[in-house]
Amino acid sequence: MADKIWVYIDQFNGEAIPSSWEAIGAARVLADQFSGGVTALVAGEQVKGAAELAVQYGADQVYFCDDATLKDFRAEPYASLLSGLAKEHQPEVILFPTTSRGRELAAMVAVDLKTGVLPDVTALEVQDGSVIATRPVYGGKLLTKAVCSTRPQLITLRVRAFPTPEADSSRTGNLSEVPPAVSEDDIQTKVVGYTESSGRVSLNDAGVIVSGGRGVSNNPVLMPPEDMDENEIEIWRAQQGFKLIGDLAEVLGAAVGASRAAVDAGYVPYDHQVGQTGKVVSPDVYIACGISGAIQHQAGMRTSKVIVAINKDPEAPIFKMARFGVVGDLFEILPHLTEAFKNRLSS
Amino acid sequence: MKIIVCVKQVPDTAAKVVVENGQVTWGDTPLVINPWDEYAVETALLQQEAHGGDVTVISFGGEEAKEALKHALAMGCGNAILVSEPELGNADSLVTSHVLAAAIQKIGDVDLVFFGRQAIDGDVGVTAAQTARVLGWPAYTLVSAISELDPGNGSIRVERSVEEGRQVVEGKLPAVVSVVKDIGDPRYPSFMGIRKASRAEIPIWSVTELGAEVSEPVVTWPEITNPPKQEVVTEIVSGDSSKEIAESLAGKIIEEKVL
């Protein structure tokens, strides 16, 4: 009999996204309550390795589809594949990591299967055979418990909200290769390439984030080059400030975040924005530098485990949520902090 | 070119949203057009300016959603339609996407439908992809730039903002596009635009007359609560010099054993 609990393994270039393992861990907890196993789904090109890893992380059965049409994620062919398998095997629950791909895929599969989708969930419980999903709404200002009356229940899990299980290389599972659902001629889009594929740590997966705000451009001792106008000077100052943030991030293996004010002022691209209209993150350590902590920013980082605030203004709201605060000049503190971590973490 | 923008009316980001006696409330903070939808309106207007045609803004919601529509009209959209059904109450994303798809089909001959990436109340963020799926059109989600658009040839090329960087995708029209902030700052409504919008008679389409395939919502929220207060005891780290403060802070962070 097919398993009732399924997990979609998100991958990029054949390599599984680590939050997929968190989803397998959550699926195992559900599977125990449904007295069954966990089925994982992997789609892409050269993804057999990811399928094998899924077994090590806790899948009992893996359907994998290895095909050139699936090399780059495109929601339409992926959704047709997954919807077809789900129609055939009738799972109760399909979990997805809340990546850009996981969310979009769950959305389309929900339409195909005429069922509901509960995105960005932070906790799961089972009651009378139904999964009750806790999800933050209004930018985390409120929490809801949501349920879906139809099957399968499609649930995307907030990245880093569930623990990663230990991989066990001695686990065994059943791998089945399945054919793609649609051919290239029936797919209406083509992925041309990537303009900015960088090695930088992605904000969503980051265990540590160092973020800068408007205050990052206020270093009074910097002497800007003479030929700049006022706007250029501000950006130049901000770049010097974000360099200090980048240095600390590098030592900590951290991602660089920013407040909306810093993004709106053009200091860093939008990809870095943390907050209600940016990314919602949940790292182990969040170091806020020159960020006052407006309610919109808090919405994006309040679930961080340890929040550290460095700010000149002792009244800044960020201090109310911080475990550690430094009231002081970030331009003086940050280089020493980088140095201190360099010494301590290497020894 | 026929362009549609879908918008929603939501509490402002600065609103203190709380649950009181089981009801969600945000005091007297005004409702506003969903901030991400303003980027969608801007994108639609830019494409209209470049390629001609008209922009219709639609919203599925109650009477209050007319304000969001008027904001979009004031920014420069030519027409607005409110899709409403008092009976429907708490529509879920599946209901919403079927209703919007039916409205888009009724308008007819549409080339592009724009959405913001998500509404900041429910934070669900699936309506664009679902509407595309219902229509059978490609979805270009999380778009940060439209690098090419050829309505004659029915083709588009976009950059999408994904975790690994910018993904360049090209494909066919008609299509659904959801946009992120990098697409470009929304314009302010003009004085003339505000005057025009305030006089606009916005037609109301009922879901029944659209003939949308709508069932009962399958997703419900039986419980909504204020998040538990995070009890944080803030320790202000001080010292005689920046160096001393930094070293003490680094030590304390390491002692939390989370690095």
Angle, vertex CA A336, rays to CA A331 and CA A339, nearest 5: 135
C-alpha closest to that of A152 among A111, A107, A81, A93? A93
Same domain, A21 and A84: yes
Residue B76 lies in a domain: yes
- Poorest-pLDDT segment among A217-221, A234-238, A259-263, B185-189: A217-221
A270 lies in the same domain as A143 = no
Cα separation, A294 vs A305, whole angstroms: 19
Judge whether B181 is closer than 8 Å to chain A, CB to CB: yes
Tell me which of A186, A218, A244 is where a domain ends: A186
Q: CB-side exposure of A205: number of CA atoms within 13 Å?
A: 18
Is B228 among the domain residues?
no
Domain count, chain A: 2
Asked if A325 lies within 8 A of B237 by C-beta distance, the reply is yes
Amino acid symbol at B13: T
Question: Closest-CA residue in chain B for A275?
Answer: B13
Distance between first and last Cα of chain A: 53
For chain B, positions 200-259, list CB contacts with chain A under 8 A: 215, 217-227, 230, 232-238, 242-243, 245-247, 249-254, 256, 258-259
Measure in Å the smallest separation between the Cα of B201 and chain A Cα atoms: 31
Are B228 and A315 contacting, i.e. CB atoms less than 8 angstroms apart?
no
Domain range enclosing A299: 208-346
What average pLDDT does this structure show over A326-346?
Answer: 94
- Secondary structure letter of residue A279 according to DSSP: B
Taking CB atoms and an 8 Å cut-off, how many pairs form between chains A and B? 271
B109 touches chain A (CB under 8 A): no
Residue A270 maps to a domain:
yes
**β-bridge mates for residue B18, sequence order:** B25
Mean pLDDT across chain A:
94
| Cα–Cα distances in angstroms (integers) from residue B154 to residues B111, B151, B172, in the given order | 8, 5, 6
Q: For A199-218, how does the pLDDT look when each residue is reduced to its tens digit (9 = 90+)?
A: 566 888 889 999 999 999 98
- Single out the residue in A152, A186, A220 at which a domain terminates: A186
Contact A144 B250 (CB under 8 A): no
Closest residue by Cα to residue A318 from A160, A235, A202, A211: A211
Q: Radius of gyration over alpha carbons of chain B, in Å?
A: 22
For residues A164 and A230, membership in a common domain is answered with no
Domain end marker among A136, A152, A186? A186
pLDDT at residue A42 tops 60: yes
Q: Which of A74, A141, A145 sits opposite B222 (nearest CB)?
A: A145
What average pLDDT does range B132-159 have in this prediction?
Answer: 97
Assigned domain for A178 exists: yes
Query: Is B54 part of a structural domain of the chain?
Result: yes
Cα A91 from Cα A77, distance rounded (Å):
20
Q: Which of B11, B79, B75, B80 is nearest to B39 (CA)?
A: B75
Domain membership of residue A193 (yes or no) is no
Region A179-197 average pLDDT? 91
Are residues A188 and B171, on separate chains, in Cβ contact within 8 Å? Answer: yes
Share of chain A above pLDDT 90, in %: 84
Average pLDDT over residues A123-134: 95
- Tracing tokens 């998100």 back to the chain, one arrives at A10
Stretch A257-281: mean pLDDT, rounded? 91
pLDDT band at A182 (very low <50, low <70, confident <90, very high): very high
Looking at residue A113, which CATH number applies to its domain?
Answer: 3.40.50.620
Confidence band, pLDDT 50/70/90 cuts, at residue A195 = confident
SS3 A60: coil
- Residues on chain A touching B130 (C-beta within 8 angstroms): 107-108, 110-111
Please tell me the distance in Å from A328's CA to the nearest CA on chain B.
8
According to DSSP, the β-strands at B18-20 and B139-150 are unpaired
Q: Min CA distance, B38 vs chain A (Å)? A: 12
3-state secondary structure of B122: coil
Closest residue on chain A to B97 (Cα): A111
Give mean pLDDT, residues A277-286: 91
Please report the ipTM that was assigned to this predicted complex.
0.94
Q: Where are the beta strands (DSSP E) in A184-224?
A: 189-194, 208-212
**Residues A130 and A160 grouped into a single domain:** yes
B229 CA to chain A: closest CA distance, Å?
10
Query: Is A202 a domain residue?
Result: no
Same domain, A227 and A328: yes
Read off the CATH number of the domain in which B120 is found: 3.40.50.620
Average pLDDT over residues B229-254: 93
Q: Is residue A203 part of a domain?
A: no
**B24 part of contact set with chain A, CB < 8 Å:** yes
Q: Which pLDDT score, from 0 to 100, does residue A221 have?
A: 80
Span B195-208, average pLDDT = 95
Q: Choose among A159, A180, A177, A181: nearest CA to A51.
A: A177
Shortest CA gap A174–chain B (Å)? 31
Q: What is the pLDDT of residues B26-58, one digit of tens each?
A: 998 889 999 999 999 999 999 999 999 999 999
- Is A130 part of any domain? yes
pLDDT for residue B146:
97
Do A112 and A221 share a domain, yes or no?
Answer: no
pLDDT above 70 covers a percentage of chain B that reads 100
CB A301 within 8 A of CB A307: yes
Structural domain contains residue B79: yes
pLDDT at A200: 62
CA dist., res. A105 & res. A118, Å (int): 12
Choose the weakest-confidence range: A138-152, A212-226, B106-120: A212-226
Instruction: Quote the pLDDT of residue B121.
Output: 92
The nearest alpha carbon in chain B to A120 belongs to: B124
User: Which residues constitute the domain of residue B73?
Assistant: 2-210
Under a CB-based contact definition with an 8 Å cutoff, are residues A138 and B121 in contact? yes
Please say whether the beta carbons of A95 and A5 come within 8 A.
Answer: yes
How would you list the strands of the sheet with A285-289, edge to edge?
A255-258, A208-212, A285-289, A306-311, A324-327, B235-236
Give which of B96, B144, B100 is closest to B5, Cα–Cα: B100
The encoded tokens of residue A314 equal 């002792």
Taking residues B197-201, report their average pLDDT. Answer: 96
- Give domain status of residue A82, yes or no: yes
Give A2's pLDDT tier (boundaries 50, 70, 90).
confident
pLDDT, position A225: 85
Distance CA B91, CA B74 (A): 28
Q: Do B170 and A190 touch (CB under 8 A)?
A: yes
Pairing state of beta strands B155-162 and B165-172?
A: antiparallel
Residue A224: what pLDDT? 84
The predicted structure's pLDDT at residue A269: 86
Note the pLDDT of residue A1: 57
Structure tokens that stand for A278 in this block? 């940016």
Contact B139 A104 (CB under 8 A): yes
Same domain, A88 and A144: yes
CA angle, A318 then A98 then B143, to 5°: 85
Same domain, A162 and A299: no
Could you report the per-residue pLDDT of A295-317, keeping only the tens digit for each?
Answer: 999 989 998 999 999 999 999 99
| Residues of chain B with C-beta less than 8 angstroms from the C-beta of A285 | 253, 256, 258-259
Segment among A114-118, A262-266, A269-273, B45-49 with least mean pLDDT: A269-273
- Encode burial over A106-125: b for 16+ CB neighbours within 10 A, e otherwise: bbbbbbbbebbbbbbbbebe
Region B189-197 average pLDDT: 96
Determine if the peptide bond prior to B35 is cis (ω within 30°).
Answer: no
pLDDT of A196 strictly over 70: no
pLDDT category at A198 given cuts 50, 70, 90 is low
For A189, the closest of B126, B169, B249 (CB atoms) is B169
Q: What is the mean pLDDT of residues B85-100?
A: 87
Share the mean pLDDT of chain B.
94
Residues A39 and A109 placed together within one structural domain of the fold: yes
Q: What's the start-to-end Cα distance of chain B, in Å?
A: 53
Calculated CA dihedral for residues B171, B172, B174, B175, nearest 10 degrees: -10
Q: Is residue A199 part of a domain?
A: no
pLDDT in tens, B112-130: 999 999 999 999 999 999 9
Exposed, middle or buried: residue A247 (CB in 10 Å: 0-12, 13-18, 19+)?
middle
Measured between CB atoms, does B174 come within 8 Å of chain A? no
Query: How many folded domains does chain B comprise?
Result: 1
Based on the domain organization, do A261 and A296 belong to the same domain?
Answer: yes
